[in-house]
Chain A
């Protein structure tokens, strides 16, 4: 005691009566952090912390993980199944049996009346791998609908498509450890501090040990752009031009890895013809990056011993997202930066188990990176499941973003939505509302009954959330990690696996196929089906995954651990074992700003929220950092329009209008505005979401809008508040 009382009182600091720490993996983004949840004597989850010995996060968590234990008891959770005849009638509570029976009979009715494909399933990147696999088995093996896809179309489809086009298969070839070895890093449209804080931390740790150039390509001055050695504020939607021109310089100046190109790639002749056209002088005019900078970046990247590229939605959510990914791959192929420590093309994935759905859900084909288009793949799976291979379609059906238009035009009459919220997440909300209205039957399966899509459902299945269940997630660096059951499911909510299994029982074919009851039983099927394949799980078990704090596939049977990198031997998954150099021309099909709609509209993520806020919008200590939507706008542009900081503005586009609070900042260009995508009835009222021709992913990041002050600030505030149920 220096000042104060002579007789000190005992110190009281919030104490947490943790009786047990339970091992899980974070259920938000794809970084794949290991989390321990502290449980008290009553079995309630009372605290979370990063696992100190986990390689991914090394004891750290971002703010969402720090409060993840609060999810279990957050508001809006679904207690019991709900049912109604018409979406405009009130829900009635019902039993699981009735809800499942009714849904099964509606599915049967629709499929019998309009054909198997008239019932569609839109799934997610949020549930466990075992659940994805089971849903795939149900969709492909029992219901037999070919209109089955995940919401990963909104985030990772372009990466998947780009990997497949370049390397012959999906699967990010690199890992976080590459930061420790690289000599140059380019981040294309990736804002790690905001979207993947723990990956940023890993990058920062590497930089503290050993400085290497970091180059950020982003139209917005993000925190990563500020931290970078070079920031390239690119014109939206012109990444292909920039990368073509980088490669032009590299090839023109002979900085390429000729040996690698010759040994491991195909298509060079066609490729070089296009690249030759994109000299920096011409490219600078399109992409807005001056020619000297282009040359400087190209030389820096090519001359680095090992160089790596990372990207996220800035590339994926473009009209040329898949091309953007291919071109990043091209850049790394011509510089020989694939499959070596510090040299990679690493897509920083979105959802916690986006990888799990890509690997095992059968959305785009069949489990274990198998495709419907290959006879052997169809036969393998049909045999394993014990069904007729002819039951499978021979070509993949509709993508998620094509399923909604098919509902609009009447080809699809029934829909099952699992843990995704298109009413907030899809572009052009008004169109989605009209689409969902048309469904004869919509079943929504989600942990939250207040999620906005439930407004149009006929049946609602209350699902259990995260560590109320057990199973695996795969992260960005192909690390399979385990979620142990921490707490029993809320009220009458049920694990998604249970729901799928119960649904299967209600179909004749479902009774014939084995649906293991435990996730570990399902995991065993994954091991068998992946044995000897690129994504080999056969060396993994739950015990081993937990003790290693996650294992990167491939992990072959008997192997000590997994593999940090793919393609280390230069062998790719195309028939000829080579990677393809694919020439790309720039197609300028974006809705560009014009006299009527003079601003680029860009959307993106904020660190405190995840997706449509169904979870983070309920946790006060997260939500408080952005409790209501806002728009970043350049103060110079705002001044001309008479828009002030903190006031409401009205935005209009060719789709509709939105009201949003304005934050003036020089972080955005004078002809550009930025709005986080998390909020209901906001940016997606006006977004266009033009679809990528390969991946069918919407271009959330580019469209044109008009901005004006909201004439009545009071009315604008009321309108904004009315759209916020949470």
Chain B
């Protein structure tokens, strides 16, 4: 075994003040969620291992090394002096455009009876680290040492899924560097008995750190929530609060998110997150809608769903023998159709891959099949792709053997299809993103699979063999598309109602849909309605002649447009259950303004210019 090397850390010093040292209070056996606080209690083997920080192979000697630690935030005291976040950014050498810890606030009351409640938040090193479970590359580890949830940027491929699932905006997607990084609990400081840099820097007696479920000296509460903080039920975060001062009944955020926090009518109990109508008018914002960071996801989901839908119909026709799709394999449009499917799916997968911060690490996408829906989606879609390639290849070759291989490939592809499209939906069912966390995601995705798949077949067959070749088939395809669009439409209806009823972030997303993108979403709804009527007509009457051709073309364009707008709205509207920002920092509204006005071109503004 290698000799343990203990390196003196640059921050160690002889005159370290007492407040910066890790305290030793008695902690209960279990936390309030019933989890054992001593993380190595059930497995002695976890003890005595080095964290190998920066080549230091020694083992920290703190008696509480294996106990779950967490932050303690006394909201009564925070003054928003930014010392915690600055100490963090300085220690971790962070660029101005991102931070592991941020102070936001909510405010309420009427002058001079006004209250501002500041909230300093970083990673909560949760009992149930959804980031870790969601990460397809297994870049995350929850350590028995201090219960720290650490992320390794060298493994990360920059998909940003952890930033979607985390309710606290802890992991930061660094689009410049192409990977995520986040709070590391300053485990290097912990190993020498010091509190993290942020807690040591606090100037107001607000932020502290220690074994979870222990109270620092002079503190009264061990609460799990304060207004603005998302429900702890999602992840069981390791943070405890004090908030004893009376707050106004309603608190609002200084950032652009239309949310407020309100006590019930008696002024009792906790705060509920509610929509804040800020009097926005209906706008188009089409450019903003179609130029978001998530465009790659629009391209990938729509194109893969189209191909999956088309393949499903081919499979039903060719392998199961469902009429009228059984004639597709023998038609002259079969090979061109397969070609178009391959091209489309390749395009979608390429778009998705290129949107990764580190596209060359794409193969790591399968690393976390055990927990991550993203890994499973990638596996499913890859299986589908492999099956589809086989199916195409063996369709070109004649002979019994190749025919069998073709059928096998078809089954492989259909397995991938089922898995892929299941997890493609599953991965969006994120509790921290209420707008997505609804069955509408399934009806939209699967509905589009049917509508766009059927449409692709219709377009390809019409291009190759002309419109009138097979009216029955065309009508059947129209029916399939109709079912798909109907699914989508029903989903939208219920989704809208549910979001409004739910309140909070979902309602805020819905509010944005009706205001910031109000006209665009109205257009989508009109197109969708028109498409439904048109498809009913086509499935009854079919299409013929030049008029039919023209109408068909219009219908295809209309379905495409509504699907693209729908999908873009899906991505752009989501409002996570995250911490409130400040007026400038972590305010999406200011970030967009800085990008549009050119202020973002100065790096010290702390907003990256739009690429």
Contacts and interface: CB of A to CB of B under 8 A. Distances in A.
Contact of A717 (B52, B114, B129, B597): B597
Interface string B54-98: 110000000000000000000001011111011101111111110
A290 to B, nearest CB: 12
Contacts of B153: 12
B152 interface: yes
Given A625-B82, A669-B112, A11 B606 contact: no
Contact of B109 (A18, A48, A666): A666
Contacts of B79: 193, 197, 200, 223-224, 227
Contacts of B129: 3
Interface stretch (B313-321, B445-453, B476-484, B579-587): B579-587
A4 B606 CA distance: 33
B599 A724 contact: yes
A201 B154 contact: no
Interface string B235-255: 000000000000000000010
Interface in A657-709: 663, 665-670
A456 B94 CA distance: 37
A667 B106 CA distance: 12
Contact of A221 (B54, B111, B138, B596): B111
Overall SS of chain B's interface: loop
Nearest to A74: B604
B107 A646 contact: no
A49 B11 contact: yes
B305 to A, nearest CB: 32
Contacts of B112: 221, 225, 231, 233, 669
Contact of B81 (A49, A607, A618, A627): A607
A624 B90 contact: no
Nearest to B187: A11
Interface string A181-198: 000000000000110011
Interface string A713-726: 00001101100101
A669 B19 CA distance: 39
Contact of B142 (A1, A38, A198): A1
Contact of B604 (A49, A607, A627): A627
Given A10-B53, A49-B11, A227-B79, A666 B107 contact: yes
Interface string B127-152: 00100110000101111100100101
A462 B605 CA distance: 26
A667 B593 CA distance: 24
B16 A718 contact: no
Overall SS of chain A's interface: loop
Interface residues of B, number: 90
A726 B602 contact: yes
Contact of B46 (A1, A18, A621, A627): A1
Interface string B179-209: 0000010111000000000001101110000
A667 B116 contact: yes
Contact of A668 (B86, B111, B147): B111
Contacts of A223: 79-80, 116
Interface string B570-609: 0000000000001111000110011011110011111100
Given A14-B91, A52-B15, A5 B583 contact: no
B401 interface: no
Interface stretch (A53-61, A403-411, A432-440, A486-494): A53-61
A42 interface: no
A169 interface: no
User: Interface centre among B10, B15, B133, B607, by most A CB within 10 Å?
Assistant: B10
Contacts of B218: 208
B594 A627 contact: yes
B204 A2 contact: no
B39 interface: yes
B10 A627 contact: no
A223 B583 CA distance: 16
B369 to A, nearest CB: 14
A51 to B, nearest CB: 7
B111 A198 contact: no
B20 A59 contact: yes
Contact of A718 (B10, B583, B594, B597): B597
A630 B20 CA distance: 36
Given A52-B13, A61-B83, A67-B86, A646 B590 contact: yes
Given A13-B53, A197-B203, A645-B278, A608 B82 contact: yes
Contacts of A1: 46, 141-144
A361 to B, nearest CB: 31
Interface in A611-640: 617-628, 630, 634, 636
A28 to B, nearest CB: 13
A4 B140 contact: yes
B545 interface: no
Nearest to A626: B584
Given A617-B604, A646-B589, A665-B254, A204 B96 contact: no
A52 B194 CA distance: 13
A617 B606 CA distance: 11
User: Interface centre among A18, A63, A208, by most B CB within 10 Å?
Assistant: A63
A58 B54 CA distance: 29
A37 interface: no
Given A233-B112, A621-B94, A623-B606, A204 B141 contact: no
A300 B278 CA distance: 44
A66 B90 contact: yes
A11 B150 CA distance: 9
A95 interface: no
B605 A4 contact: no
B244 to A, nearest CB: 13
B256 interface: yes
Contact of A2 (B39, B81, B186, B256): B39
Contact of A11 (B107, B184, B279, B604): B184
Interface in B24-56: 39, 46, 51-55
B110 interface: yes
B115 interface: yes
A2 B144 contact: yes
B17 interface: yes
A618 B602 CA distance: 9
B586 to A, nearest CB: 10
A16 B92 CA distance: 10
Interface in A452-484: none
Given A14-B93, A620-B604, A624-B604, A66 B86 contact: yes
Contact of A8 (B15, B52, B598): B52
A13 B604 contact: no
Interface string A231-263: 101000000000000000000000000000000
A201 B142 contact: no
Interface in A163-212: 193-194, 197-198, 200-201, 204-205, 208
A17 interface: yes
A15 interface: yes
B155 interface: yes
A47 B279 CA distance: 47
Contacts of B594: 627
Contacts of B20: 59
B424 to A, nearest CB: 24
A634 B111 CA distance: 8
A223 B204 CA distance: 11
9 tightest A-B CB contacts, nearest first: A624-B606, A620-B96, A4-B141, A52-B15, A63-B86, A10-B52, A193-B79, A620-B604, A53-B15
18 contacts: A1-B142, A2-B147, A11-B187, A16-B11, A51-B15, A59-B19, A63-B85, A66-B83, A193-B203, A208-B218, A607-B82, A620-B97, A620-B603, A621-B94, A621-B96, A627-B604, A665-B254, A670-B111
Given A193-B203, A666-B108, 20 more contacts: A1-B143, A2-B142, A3-B133, A3-B141, A4-B140, A10-B53, A10-B55, A11-B188, A60-B201, A66-B83, A66-B201, A197-B203, A226-B114, A621-B96, A622-B86, A627-B584, A627-B604, A627-B607, A628-B584, A669-B111
